[in-house]
Amino acid sequence: MTQVEFPPNTPHEDDKTQLVSEHTIHPQAWKWYDYFTFNVDHKVIGIQYLVTAFVFYLIGGLMAVAMRAELATPDADLLDPNLYNAFMTNHGTIMIFLWIVPSAIGGFGNYLVPLMVGARDMAFPKLNAIAFWLNPPAGALILGSFFFGGSQSGWTAYPPLSLVTANTAQSMWILAIVLVGTSSILGSVNFVITILKMKVPSMRWDQVPLFCWATLATAILALLSTPVLAAGLVLLLFDINFGTSFFKPDAGGNVVIYQHLFWFYSHPAVYLMILPIFGIMSEVIPVHARKPIFGYKAIAYSSVAICVVGLFVWVHHMFTSGTPGWMRMFFTISTLIVAVPTGVKIFGWVATLWGGKIRFTSAMLFAIGLLSMFVMGGLSGVTMGTAPFDVHVHDTYYVVAHFHYVLFGGSVFGIYAGIYHWFPKMTGRMMNETWGRIHFVLTFIGTNLTFLPMHELGLQGMPRRVAMYDPQFISLNQICTVGSFILAASVIPFTINVIWSWIAGQKAGDNPWQALTLEWTTSSPPIVENWEVLPVVTHGPYDYGIDNHSAVPPSGATEVSA
């Protein structure tokens, strides 16, 4: 491939825009204040997503800690039960819609996808900025809803409960979710087109990094499922505010149709939250195990398989909603089938670790921690995917334990791993490994201490979403509460580590992990157009230990120090 010389970025003659300063004409690196503007550079947007999402993570985490403190005793003595419900609802909403989805898809996806496929930016930079800037208003609506009592119907907002509690807050909640959903759709359009059409010409489909495969599957899934949630929420909004009766059984409506519409999005949503994490795992593990990834094609295609099968499992959330027998059987089977591609990935990663020269960096610790915890969560998911067992544990703490194992032990661990892994690329500085290990140990212990006892609680029949419970559950609940305090404490070393490293960490250089994917061929942080000269792909993304490959920028590229 001939190398494309990139024309210098000079303002057009007819450009009437008054340029702010010299550095906007041809910036080599973004200044701190650029992160507070409607910037269209994918790297800026990625970091905006990550930081915003992290702020919401802290808010949602505080809600969780308040709830666990409340649950330390059987009585509702700390929080007003309505406030508990509002915390419960908004903890779920914030953690899903404003933390995991924006950070995993929006943050890492935006930052890494163009760098990994050798593009100078996303396909639609302005659209990208719009997609990000829909998030802060959504967060403001969610937080503002607390002034109106907070939405109290759980993150699923099932009618009729959502029709009778805190209607103003519920409407704000709906608008917030629609905003986030719009953001998700616009972002996904960008990802699909970027991955399909913006690959550097020398990159074949079997050289596309697995993170991009995962992001592609995620984006397709988001495109297919998110609008359906919007439809369901519009119906709910009309029911609350405009006197329609879609979900009012006494006027001919039906509440189960809401559940169908809701879960048609919200089950795929859990794959939206885990597929990018699978991608991060597929990037982190080979690099730190110094081995080619085991079963590249299997892992790539299993992402697509999860995307396809994931669209046909939503009714397993509704086994107790009076669904007919054939439906239970069909969706039990499809739920068990979706575990197969997931298992393919897990075995691929374990086989990659097998016999590798593993470097136990913080990123790798989190990745291995994820492996163990995600398997736990996945197995409890398989048990609940079978209708007979689900009828027994539905709406108990067993469910809470399961999805916290996959979402915290899976998604959040994956985001942590991703941050430790790509922080040098994003900021040009290394994170402190010692603090990273302290963070990992605290998080790992905290997670297991918090969520493991919940399995037992659920099997004994403690219902979820309640502020008061039977005194027989007190001892296990107190273990959970202690664990949640450890989890809360675990975020402190991480936050300090990030801020400190960003300011004064050790300089990272272009490729501190000796990785082979394209994002490591440019400077850290990457220059504004990513490369002076577009890189040429000469080897696969995971050819570690083969032929002594080294990832070097193409000749002629100028090193730019951060």
Partner 1 sequence: MAIATSNAEHHAEHSEHQDLRVLGLLTFLASESLMFGGFFAAYLFFRGITEVWPPENTEVELLLPTINTIILVSSSFVIHFGDAAIKRNDVKGMQRWYTITAIMGAVFLLGQVVEYLTLGYGMTTNVFSNCFYLMTGFHGLHVFIGLLLILGVLWRSRRPGHYSATKHVGIEMAEIYWHFVDIIWIVLFSLLYILTLF
Which is closer to partner 1, CB of 254 or CB of 321?
254
Most distant CA atoms of the chain, gap in Å: 76
Return the structure tokens found at 139: 């967060």
Print burial letters for 408-445: b (CB count within 10 Å at least 16), e (below 16): bbbbbbbbbbbbbbbbbbbbbbbbbbebbebbbebbbe
Q: Does 174 bind partner 1 (CB under 8 A)?
A: no
Binding mask 114-133 for partner 1 (x = CB under 8 A): -----xxx-xxxxx-x----
Q: Least distance from C-beta 120 to partner 1, angstroms? A: 7
**x/- track of binding to partner 1 for residues 485-524 (CB under 8 A):** ----------------------------------------
Residue 92 near residue 403 (C-beta atoms within 8 A): no
Among 2, 250, 252, 550, binds partner 1 (CB under 8 A): 252
Q: How far apart are CA 245 and CA 296, in angstroms?
A: 50
How far apart are CB 422 and partner 1 at their closest, in Å?
23
Q: Is 185 in the site for partner 1 (CB under 8 A)?
A: yes
**Residue among 216 and 365 whose Cβ is closer to partner 1:** 216
Report how far residue 178's alpha carbon sits from residue 176's, in angstroms, rounded to the nearest whole number.
5
303, 220 in Cβ contact below 8 A?
no
In this structure, are residues 200 and 535 in contact, taking their beta carbons and an 8 Å threshold?
yes
Q: How far apart are CA 441 and CA 459, in angstroms?
A: 28
Give the shortest CB-227-to-partner 1 separation in angstroms: 4
3-state SS, residue 538: coil
Which residue's CB is nearer to partner 1, number 24 or number 558?
A: 24
Extract the tokens encoding 66.
């308040």
What is the x/- site pattern for partner 1, positions 197-236, by CB under 8 A? xx------------------------xxxxxxxxxx-xx-
Helix segments in 290-396, DSSP class H = 296-309, 325-353, 362-385, 387-393
Give 108 or 531: the residue with its C-beta nearer to partner 1.
Answer: 531
Our CB check for partner 1 shows the closer of 34 and 519 to be 34
Which positions from 266 through 325 interact with partner 1, judged by CB under 8 A?
Answer: none
Helices (H), 198-315: 210-241, 256-289, 296-309
Cα 212–Cα 406–Cα 449 angle in degrees, nearest 5: 140
Of 32-40, 59-67, 72-80, 387-395, which part binds partner 1 (CB under 8 A)? 32-40
Q: Evaluate whether 454 touches 67 at the Cβ level (below 8 Å).
A: no
One of 140, 164, 251, 379 touching partner 1 (CB under 8 A):
251
Least Å distance, CB 225 to partner 1, is 8
Residue 183 touches partner 1, criterion: CB under 8 A? no
Q: Does residue 396 sit in helix, strand or coil? A: strand
* Segment near partner 1 (CB under 8 A); pick from 13-21, 210-218, 389-397, 493-501: 13-21
CA dihedral 328, 330, 333, 337 (to 10 degrees): -130
Query: Which residues in 128-167 contact partner 1 (CB under 8 A)?
Result: 129
Distance CA 25, CA 11 (A): 7
Contact between 19 and partner 1 per CB under 8 A: yes
Scanning residues 521 to 560, which ones bind partner 1 (CB under 8 A)? 534
Residues in the site for partner 1, rule: CB under 8 A?
A: 4, 9, 11-12, 15, 17-20, 24-25, 34, 37-41, 119-121, 123-127, 129, 185-186, 188-190, 192-193, 196-198, 223-232, 234-235, 238, 242-246, 251-254, 257, 260-261, 264, 534
